[in-house]
Amino acid sequence: MDILVPCSPNNPIPTYVAAAFNSYSPHPQPGYAYYREGKFSCGYFMQGSEQGDFLEDGYYLLMGGNVSFRPHREVPENLRFKVGSTKDYKPIYIGTIYISGEEICGPVIDGVCYVYRHSILSDGENYKVLGLNEGC
């Protein structure tokens, strides 16, 4: 478990960065999965910025390294963890939004972080982005 990347170490239920592949894009679609009672639950993902989805299995967990979520204004573009591009070649990063006492993950597209949690939520101001820690 120590090698997986958490959405936040402070979440009441451990939540980890996950990704799914689908017909929407050839790139992984970032999202998150909860870890409860010794196993991972459904994974929650965005398909672009307009459709949410969940998978009971068949998703992948991000294994860590020297990375962390930080306020997006503090992470230079060259240190951001890029997971793909939109159909019009804009970069897609992994971000988190703080909602109801926890941080959950989703894609950052055009400076806005999108997450799926029974509905689509977005934030263009107060999100964090996953970045490589300097001095790696």
Q: Average pLDDT in the 70-93 region?
A: 92
Q: Where are the domains of the chain?
A: 15-132
pLDDT at 121 over 70: yes
The torsion angle over the Cα atoms of residues 31, 17, 19 and 45, rounded to 10 degrees, is -10
- Quote the pTM value: 0.90
pLDDT of residue 26: 77
The torsion angle over the Cα atoms of residues 27, 68, 56 and 92, rounded to 10 degrees, is -20
pLDDT of residue 128: 98
pLDDT averaged over every residue in the chain:
90
Residues with Cβ within 8 Å of residue 12, at least 6 apart in sequence? 101, 102
Cβ atoms of 131 and 72 within 8 Å: the answer is no
Give dist(CA 83, CA 19) in Å, integer: 9
Residue 1: which pLDDT band, with cuts at 50, 70 and 90? low
pLDDT of residue 64: 83
pLDDT of residue 129: 98
Q: Average pLDDT in the 66-79 region?
A: 95
pLDDT at 43 over 90: yes
Residue 87: which pLDDT band, with cuts at 50, 70 and 90? confident
